[in-house]
Chains A and B, each alone.
Chain A
């Protein structure tokens, strides 16, 4: 998995200049937003649903240890195995070992963000396994050798032409003459290619949308049906999940599913929602012989402890990035890791460390639109600001900003001095503007005037004007 959150600025710049990407992003944006809006408006009291979702997730987090143990017991009762991994390395080791045990050659995967988080594909490929992503979007970016750029629609940044080229290269050895193929044709071709893989895979790896403590169930949500083919056909099914995904009951999962589908894609229910319980049973005509659940910590217990617990409520719906104007401008790759957009800007620093992700908490206007659509009411701007505050405390803010703040703060906390200095500065600036009302260029405000004019101040400050007027009005 590519890891370059430090490169946010250059990556964002490149993204803004990438015409194909910009075309793909502008197509995607309104689609997601409109569909969600329609679904939310059709629901009687979506606010109450969000509130319930928040409470369910809070309760589950507050009793995480109990629910995890219950979950484990139920998975085992159903004949499955539970593995615990403190970090990515342990998780990779567990999965590789299981693959060896199964004498696996070919592994099918359905989309799992935790899988991306631990870099499982690279590890398996390095181990000589053939890894096949089966979610169409993931398959496309696997061919392109790129990371996902969206947690729900991983290939959202790809145009049809680019996909035509990829399929030509990998399915037709570059011998196809067509530049642009129709969508049904492309989907059918992928279906055929992947069908063969499904039927011959030794191990199937899925994520988990929710873990249900009561029954030991793994909830899997897709529209394509690829998760079901992944867990039903191979000899072994491995599910990887963060420990944060646990919820108490099937009824709780129902509420969360109502939130998830509407928030993610504007559907009322995704096409396939499946609850998996252990391996194939006696008399079952199909299903895997073994079922393994890998539970991953990787920083989550740390989040549980501190002021960032709320982030663990996240159900990975992607609504925050769909509504984020910064994401809409630069796309997912600019963020440099698995989780893009607002949720990623909070999660990534918490998982990999603030010092490796300096830009992420700042690349946001704190406009709050993400929080207003988050199905479990995560106060994303507040958490981003808290991260900034931690950065500041730990001396991770660049010295120019720090100096600027100190300079401004020095005056702002000394009102008398402030008003004298402001009065003077305003006078000078006004004189410099020579009545044109604005600046085309101003060396000390180049960040501003690079792309817009700077309105010039009037001759006097409001305080000065007010003082004079008050005098004239005899107060």
Chain B
């Protein structure tokens, strides 16, 4: 058991859990906390957090998105580090808040300050905490990794999760074809254009299937739910976990969308 008493020396990290993790998969949040604590940080979870505002932002509802941006900034501005287990929510905070609040100098400055201190989880672990070699987890099996679009293109996340995973005992990574092609999730896109989304995710599932991997990992719960849901509909026996769950050795819970009493 790690020492969980917060001490003065331990730097504090605020966790922005994201609304999907909060609502659908608490285990990702818990895994993130464990990873951060193992890396020597004390974790705080501001209670008032809800959503980063991406659904409004991507729909063009700028006012509502800006209201949420200001809410997030207020809740997190006192922390030196904010960590997010999602490339797309981190991307929203880091790249889109300043743009969204450009009409108001003070808020925009605040947005830039928050952007500087906000980190997607795998980048934080590899680039800030610098403890990537001491990942103690084990995961027996072949996995394949989907590069979620926002993380990949807004935050340059490609190597970081692979570096972390390479230290997981028993894990074998098999790359899929077109690993950086969108899975068809796209937030509200998958509901507004279900047929197109279905084709995209079907292509993705085919690429996953061809690797022969038993497990699919990614760094964004939205994409994972989309791919896992499609695999289950097609009876493709590949399990899906968030990368944090594997890194933290917390895969004792059912995989995404799996029965509870397996």
Contact = CB atoms under 8 A, between A and B. Distances in A.
A and B touching (Cβ–Cβ under 8 A):
yes
Contacts of A365: 149, 182, 184-187, 189, 197, 200
Nearest to A463: B22
A16 B199 contact: yes
B250 interface: no
Name the interface size band of chain A: 35 or more
A397 interface: yes
Interface stretch (B133-141, B165-173, B224-232): B224-232
B195 A12 contact: yes
Given A390-B60, A462-B22, A372 B153 contact: yes
A390 B61 CA distance: 9
Given A367-B153, A437-B260, A462-B30, A455 B24 contact: yes
Contacts of A450: 194, 198
B193 A363 contact: yes
A78 to B, nearest CB: 45
Interface string B184-220: 1111111111111111110100000000000000000
Contact of A367 (B182, B194, B228): B182
B50 interface: yes
Contact of A463 (B27, B45, B228, B230): B45
Nearest to B221: A455
A461 B26 contact: yes
Nearest to A12: B196
Nearest to B53: A412
Contact of A329 (B188, B191, B196, B259): B196
A286 B238 CA distance: 67
A371 B182 CA distance: 14
A455 B198 contact: no
Interface in A339-394: 361-369, 371-372, 382, 385-393
A16 B22 contact: no
A473 interface: yes
A399 B182 CA distance: 28
Contact of A415 (B23, B50, B187, B259): B50
A369 B189 CA distance: 16
Contact of B194 (A438, A451, A469): A451
A184 interface: no
A333 to B, nearest CB: 14
A436 B26 CA distance: 17
A222 to B, nearest CB: 30
Interface string B228-245: 111011000000000000
Interface in B82-134: 99
A305 interface: no
Interface string A439-475: 0100001011011111111101111111101000101
A369 B260 CA distance: 37
Given A448-B190, A451-B230, A329 B199 contact: yes
What does DSSP make chain B's interface, helix, strand, loop or mixed?
helix
B86 to A, nearest CB: 13
A307 to B, nearest CB: 11
A367 B59 CA distance: 14
Contacts of B60: 361, 385-393, 397
Nearest to A467: B47
Contact of A325 (B56, B67, B184): B184
A68 to B, nearest CB: 31
B194 A447 contact: yes
A384 to B, nearest CB: 9
A447 to B, nearest CB: 3
Contacts of A16: 195-196, 199
Contact of A466 (B4, B29, B193, B233): B29
Contacts of B258: 437-438
A438 B198 CA distance: 18
A326 interface: yes
A418 to B, nearest CB: 5
B23 to A, nearest CB: 6
Given A388-B59, A452-B232, A453-B233, A326 B194 contact: no
B180 interface: yes
B186 A460 contact: no
Contact of A455 (B191, B192, B200, B257): B257
Contact of A435 (B27, B186, B259): B259
Contacts of B192: 362, 401, 447
Given A12-B193, A448-B229, A453-B257, A463 B47 contact: yes
Contacts of B180: 369
A281 B90 CA distance: 62
B49 interface: yes
A32 to B, nearest CB: 13
A364 B45 contact: no
A203 B193 CA distance: 45
Nearest to A461: B22
B254 interface: yes
13 contacts: A13-B195, A16-B195, A326-B196, A368-B154, A385-B58, A390-B60, A392-B59, A408-B55, A435-B260, A450-B194, A452-B232, A457-B25, A462-B26
6 nearest CB pairs, A to B: A365-B186, A388-B60, A452-B229, A447-B191, A367-B149, A455-B257
